[in-house]
Amino acid sequence: MSEDRRLHVLRAIVQDYVQTSEPVGSKALVERHQLGVSAATVRNDMALLEEEGLIHAPHTSAGRVPTDLGYRVFVDRLSEIKPLSRGERTAITQFLHGAVDLDDIVDRTVRLLASLTRQVAVVQYPSLTRSTVRHIELVPVGGPRVMVVLIVNTGRVEQRIVDTGRDLTTVDGEALVARVRTRINDVAAGVPFRVAATSLRTLVEEFPEGDRHVIESVVTALEEALVEEREERVVLAGQANLARSRGDFPRSIGPILEALEEHVVLLRLLGELSEDPEVVSVRIGHENPVSGLQSTSLVSVGYGTGNERVASLGVLGPTRMDYPTTMAAVRAVARYVSDILGDPRSN
């Protein structure tokens, strides 16, 4: 038997089952698809697919449904991810256009993904430890106090007000602030923050002893910003979409909802991706290490600036998922988000 024909039959079973949610029989396959063979031949092909563990009979009927392994073979044999339509691309652009800050970008992205795919959308906030410093601003706010503003390439903005112990309203004070601002940007701008933090600490010795408390206060504030933001976050939307697929879950959606509440679990799953932001990851059914998610599939991809992935996004839904369309939507949204983050004018 031709392996290509057998894969064609598997593809047809997956497509029909995703569309109808009903077990697929040989007669239906012959009627709906141009297989070029008889129903008897298709039955033989289905028997071999079942022996290989790619399909199974959910109950005593002539119909078959894909297994997790069957979905895996189907996804791995996709020749390419089909592009979104012009209307879908326009909708993404319009929905994400005009986001005012990182929180707005993440909020719009997760709602857009849930709407496009009708699944549960998951968006990870960019990790500060994997991001790059765009600029550090120092703004005197009266007397000895200065606002330290850290602007990251992902759009994140962190602010700290510190007491330098020195009057910065004088001519000498203003000149010192200007010098500190220049030197910290010389060292930090354009490099990963975890590297910049170490380099900033070396600047303290450059300054006269009487000025060191000012630079020390600024550097400490920047280090604190890094420590406080190491705990990464995810945002979800579309959990109600699970109710539409209630029949796809053999027990209930309860274990899935419980697993989704464990953000540490989601962060771990999203973190197990290729560093290449173009590679779409598909984790199917029992490939998920979390027991509560083994009746679901997670389609995810990284996003970032340039060639660096700083976070991930994706959707989670039943294994009976339209994989080509979902993969296309996830990848397209990630590309748009990366473009927004990479454009300084958008932050």
Are residue 68 and residue 106 in the same domain, yes or no?
no
d(CA 77, CA 50): 18
Are residue 203 and residue 181 in the same domain, yes or no?
yes
d(CA 245, CA 253): 9
d(CA 82, CA 80): 6
d(CA 5, CA 42): 9
Hey, CA dihedral for 222, 195, 190, 125, is it positive or negative?
A: negative
Are residue 319 and residue 186 in the same domain, yes or no?
no
Are residue 70 and residue 54 in the same domain, yes or no?
yes
Residue at 171 is within a domain: yes
d(CA 96, CA 200): 35
How many other C-beta atoms lie within 10 A of the C-beta of residue 165?
11
Are residue 53 and residue 90 in the same domain, yes or no?
no
Are residue 256 and residue 331 in the same domain, yes or no?
yes
Give yes or no for a contact between 148 and 159, defined as CB atoms under 8 angstroms apart. Answer: yes
Least confident of 57-61, 92-96, 199-203, 315-319: 57-61
Are residue 274 and residue 195 in the same domain, yes or no?
no
d(CA 268, CA 79): 29
- CATH classification of the domain holding 188: 3.30.390.10
Residue at 39 is within a domain: yes
Can you tell me the mean pLDDT for 19-43?
Answer: 86
Are residue 31 and residue 53 in the same domain, yes or no?
yes
Q: What is the dihedral of CA 285, 323, 341, 302, to 10 degrees?
A: 40
d(CA 147, CA 54): 61
Are residue 96 and residue 136 in the same domain, yes or no?
no
Residue at 294 is within a domain: yes
Residue at 209 is within a domain: yes
Residue at 207 is within a domain: yes
Tell whether the model's pLDDT for residue 171 goes beyond 70.
yes
Residue at 81 is within a domain: no
Are residue 33 and residue 180 in the same domain, yes or no?
no
Residue at 139 is within a domain: yes
Of the candidates 185, 207, 228, which is a domain's last residue? 228
Q: Exposed, middle or buried, 287 (CB in 10 Å: 0-12/13-18/19+)?
A: middle
Residue with tokens 């550090």: 136
The string of DSSP codes covering 131-152 is: SBEEEEEEEEEETTEEEEEEEE
- CATH classification of the domain holding 90: 3.30.450.40
Residue 53 φ/ψ region, left for φ over 0, alpha for ψ in the -120 to 50 degree band, beta for the rest: left
Per-residue pLDDT tens digits for 204-229: 888 998 888 999 999 888 887 765 55
**pLDDT tier, 61 (very low <50, low <70, confident <90, very high otherwise):** low
pLDDT score, position 303 = 87
d(CA 111, CA 337): 13
d(CA 195, CA 129): 9
When mean pLDDT is compared over 19-33, 107-121, 130-144, 292-306, the highest value belongs to 107-121
Of the candidates 58, 76, 94, which is a domain's last residue? 76
Nearest-Å Rg of the Cα atoms of the chain is: 26
Give yes or no for a contact between 194 and 229, defined as CB atoms under 8 angstroms apart. Answer: no
Are residue 224 and residue 268 in the same domain, yes or no?
no
Token reading at 314: 């994706």
Of the candidates 76, 94, 109, which is a domain's last residue? 76
Residue 35, domain extent: 3-76
Are residue 204 and residue 120 in the same domain, yes or no?
no
Can you tell me the mean pLDDT for 266-270?
Answer: 85
- On average, the pLDDT of the chain sits at 85
Rounded to 10 deg, the angle between the 171-188 and 212-228 helix axes is: 40
Residue with tokens 């959606």: 253
Domain tally, the chain: 3
The answer to pTM > 0.85 is no
